[in-house]
Structure 1
Amino acid sequence: MEQTWRWWGPNDLITLSDICQVGATGIVTSLHDIPTGTAWTKDAVTERKSIIETDKSLGLRWSVVESIQVHESIKLAEDGAKEFYETYRESLRNLGGAGIDTVCYNFMPVLDWARTQLRYPLPGGATALRFNAHEFAAFDVHMLARPGAAADYSRDVLDRAKHWFDAATEDTKRSLLATIMAGLPGAFDRYDIAGLRTMLARYAQVDHAKLRANLVRFLEEIIPTAEQAGVRMAIHPDDPPRPLLGLPRITSTADDIAFILDAVPSPSNGLTLCTGSLGARPANDLPAIAKRFADRIHFVHLRNVSTDPDGSFMEADHLGGGTDMVAVVQALLTEQQRRQKASDPHWRLPFRPDHGHEMLDDVGKATHPGYPAIGRMRGLAEIRGVMTALAHQHGFAL
């Protein structure tokens, strides 16, 4: 499997030289400076590719785009969506022309991933990302004051949410809002309470079925271009995999994934297997999902979470948490072996260690939440060890 690393671009504190040192060879990045809905030009794509690949001694290549953000007008199927389909298609053509053939994207409305703590303290001084159900409920019910929000939470969660809200200072409440808004990595929109209410109002008539239909429309619009450009689209699961703020989520279960892949049956319509996102829903069987959709997995995020009965969860060690990471990696290596025997040019699956604990010298550095160097390096090293052991045992190619 191709070992890759998410890089936030030339302003990232973690340099390309650093990435070379941790042993990754593929770069996962996006043109975050280009606003959502604006086409990525040939020059912009070529410039970023050149930055990554010019120094041949580093042995790096631009392996995966993560991501081209999908404009909210597309998710809403609004009248103005037509122009955004075209700019998305133009971006795909320019990426394909530059030899970049894998695009990770998501179809989560308004928010991408959601957490309530960006630096939850761990023993020894490290920190982790965490989602506390009662804090999110406090935001939803008391700060946002969304009509009907209380119906989405248990009595116990609501009681703890009220206690948290009553004890919270204004600074604490502002910090919670900022933390929830941090789930828009690389995006331009950052909402205050009023702005978030406005966005939610736009989705008032969009339920699960409608959002599904809007995703199918998006795929029908862009997959033919992706096929022509030699680009494989890989949808990222919802994080967390359940409705938030009254918004539907449609990539949360194996059945959701099957619907999406069957709706537009093309090799260019595929999956980003994220074990952390799907793992936050205890009913999801990640090894089974990896096996079921193996031939449509184009990109892999490997991380682990530990879950609580109330819906809270925390980023765990990569080989800890609730997901059997060894079984997942074995399923992926089995699929990779099948592709290699079939002479598939995409036989090597790109994966990256997703998220990581902030630890050691990274503590307090201004890295993107979940993306410190040392925590991810630890995760990559652990997964590399699993891969090597399985390859030795079963004769898999790495």
Structure 2
Amino acid sequence: MIHTMRWFGPNDPVSLMDIRQAGCSGVVSALHQIPVGDIWNSQAIEERKRLIQEKNNQFSALKWLVVESLPVHEDIKKGLSSREFYIDNYKKSLRNLAASGIKTVCYNFMPVLDWSRTSLDYQLPEGSKTLRFVWIDFAIFDLFILKRPNAEADYEPETRIAAESKFRSMSDYQLSVLTNTVLLGLPGSEEAFDLNIFQSLLDEYADIDDVQLRKNLYYFISKVAPVAQEVGINLCIHPDDPPRSLLGLPRVVSTESDLDQLMKACDVRANGITFCTGSLGVREDNDLPGMIKRFGDRIHFVHLRTTKREEGTRNFHEAPHLNGDVDMYEVVKALLTEENRRKSAGYADSLLPMRPDHGFQMLDDLQKKTYPGYSAIGRLKALAELRGLEMAIARSPSLV
């Protein structure tokens, strides 16, 4: 695989030199400064590309290989008539990226929030910190902070009772931290949604159920994937994180069945998948090695991480990359097998760009402010472990 790391741009506390020293040859980045729905113009794309891979500086060994993400405007997700304007802008951005040599573009179709956690600094026994999702804490936010209408129907009676009891014991500061954590949800940003307007954003999805959101996704991909195919870009959707409905919003990229329906909705290779083992691995019913075998040709980008499901609950936390619920050995083996298949078939893109996702905050990084899940040392540790696993599997006689 091609080893990469995510870089949020010039303001990222993790530098390009840090990424290069970690052993990466590729960078995953995005133009977070451009408002969602606007066209990514060639000048802005080339400026970011020069920052990453200028030939005459110390970063020349790095290449901008993947865009993560080119965001999808909410009007497209909601299926409004204005979506045609934003879809047209999306196509233009894809053409501009292709003209600059960018071949892989990640996106997601999660309504309102890109991801959800209830703690950004959950401390593990050895002292490192990680991300965690606690169902009762999420219920506290939904039922007693946001006070979403009819939210009670989404929680079991015992969950509602436990959430109310814990809510009454929490300080104003604890409630504020929980609120900001849930409302963060935007990679590359340190600003949370405003609680005062958040409910209005949810209300705009009141008439959009699972069926309608799927229709809106399939409409979008049927318009943009052929353009991507034409210009040589592989689009790859990121699974829902976490892979279940939250806040009354449908989630339609959570299971193998979801991915299968999406692949069939526009049957071109450019309509592909970001295979995130962390997001998909939260669900016990997702067979990750099997999914790699079945969707191999449509996997264009890989996120390797694992979570630990907390027994008897809907809670989970980010786990050490080789020691969570994901069988990382079988996952990496399946990915290398897919790469070998591509090499034998003569694919130009036989190697998959991979990044270690959601590293722990640990060692010196415990004293630094970084994007949640994207500290340098935790990802360095993860990448070192994954590279060792990859090499061992690649040199094993059992790899076919």
Q: Same fold (TM over 0.5)?
A: yes
Matched, 1:323 2:357: no
Match of 2:208 among 202, 206, 209: 206
* C-alpha contact 1:133 1:310 (8 A) present in aligned 2: yes
2:301 maps to 299
Q: Give the match's secondary structure for 1:128.
A: strand
> What is the distance in 1 between the residues matched to 2:382 and 2:395?
20
Query: 1:56-205, aligned counterparts within 5 Å?
Result: 57-58=58-59, 59-186=61-188, 190-205=192-207
* C-alpha contact 2:190 2:371 (8 A) present in aligned 1: no
Q: Give the match's secondary structure for 2:167.
A: helix
Question: Aligned letter for 2:322?
Answer: L
For residue 190 of structure 1, report the CA deviation from its aligned partner: 3.9
For residue 151 of structure 1, report the CA deviation from its aligned partner: 2.0
* C-alpha contact 2:184 2:190 (8 A) present in aligned 1: no
* C-alpha contact 1:157 1:310 (8 A) present in aligned 2: no
1:369 maps to 372
For residue 11 of structure 1, report the CA deviation from its aligned partner: 1.2
* C-alpha contact 1:129 1:314 (8 A) present in aligned 2: yes
1:384 maps to 387
Question: Aligned letter for 1:238?
Answer: D
Matched, 1:4 2:4: yes
Question: Aligned letter for 2:346?
Answer: S
For residue 82 of structure 1, report the CA deviation from its aligned partner: 1.5
For residue 10 of structure 1, report the CA deviation from its aligned partner: 1.1
* C-alpha contact 1:36 1:187 (8 A) present in aligned 2: no
Q: Give the match's secondary structure for 2:360.
A: coil
> What is the distance in 2 between the residues matched to 1:394 and 1:207?
49
Which consecutive residues of structure 2, in runs of 5 or more, have no partner in the other structure?
none
Query: 1:206-225, aligned counterparts within 5 Å?
Result: 206-225=208-227
* C-alpha contact 1:300 1:350 (8 A) present in aligned 2: yes
* 379-388 or 170-179: bigger deviation: 170-179
For residue 49 of structure 1, report the CA deviation from its aligned partner: 0.6
* 314-323 or 169-178: bigger deviation: 169-178
> What is the distance in 2 between the residues matched to 1:252 and 1:189?
26
Q: Give the match's secondary structure for 1:394.
A: coil
Query: 1:47-62, aligned counterparts within 5 Å?
Result: 47-55=47-55, 57-58=58-59, 59-62=61-64
Matched, 1:313 2:316: yes
Question: Aligned letter for 1:239?
Answer: D
For residue 155 of structure 1, report the CA deviation from its aligned partner: 2.8
> What is the distance in 2 between the residues matched to 1:14 and 1:200?
34
Q: Give the match's secondary structure for 1:272.
A: strand
TM-score if structure 1 supplies the norm length? Answer: 0.97
Question: Aligned letter for 1:50?
Answer: R
> What is the distance in 1 between the residues matched to 2:284 and 2:168?
31
For residue 157 of structure 1, report the CA deviation from its aligned partner: 2.2
* 11-20 or 130-139: bigger deviation: 11-20
Matched, 1:258 2:260: yes
Aligned residues: 397
Q: 1:364 to 1:179 in 2, by over 3 A?
A: farther
> What is the distance in 1 between the residues matched to 2:157 and 2:396?
50
* C-alpha contact 2:304 2:356 (8 A) present in aligned 1: yes
Question: Aligned letter for 1:54?
Answer: E
Match of 1:267 among 266, 269, 275: 269
Q: Give the match's secondary structure for 2:387.
A: helix
Matched, 1:335 2:338: yes
For residue 154 of structure 1, report the CA deviation from its aligned partner: 2.4
Matched, 1:41 2:41: yes
> What is the distance in 2 between the residues matched to 1:129 and 1:195?
25
Question: Aligned letter for 2:138?
Answer: F
Q: Give the match's secondary structure for 2:308.
A: strand
2:15 maps to 15
Cα RMSD for the two superposed structures: 1.5
Render the CA deviation track for 1:98-154: whole Å, top value 9, x for unaligned: 110100100000001100000001123210100010000011111111122122222
1:283 maps to 285
2:232 maps to 230
Render the CA deviation track for 1:168-206: whole Å, top value 9, x for unaligned: 222222211110122111369842233111011100000
For residue 395 of structure 1, report the CA deviation from its aligned partner: 8.0
Question: Aligned letter for 2:206?
Answer: A
Which consecutive residues of structure 1, in runs of 5 or more, have no partner in the other structure?
none
TM-score if structure 2 supplies the norm length? Answer: 0.97
Render the CA deviation track for 1:287-321: whole Å, top value 9, x for unaligned: 11111111110000000000123211000000011
Structure 1 residue ranges, 4+ long, deviating more than 6 angstroms after superposition: none
Q: Give the match's secondary structure for 2:396.
A: helix
Q: Give the match's secondary structure for 2:102.
A: coil
* C-alpha contact 1:36 1:188 (8 A) present in aligned 2: no
* C-alpha contact 1:337 1:396 (8 A) present in aligned 2: no
Question: Aligned letter for 1:111?
Answer: L
> What is the distance in 2 between the residues matched to 1:313 and 1:294?
27
Question: Aligned letter for 1:192?
Answer: D
> What is the distance in 2 between the residues matched to 1:394 and 1:260?
36
Question: Aligned letter for 1:87?
Answer: N
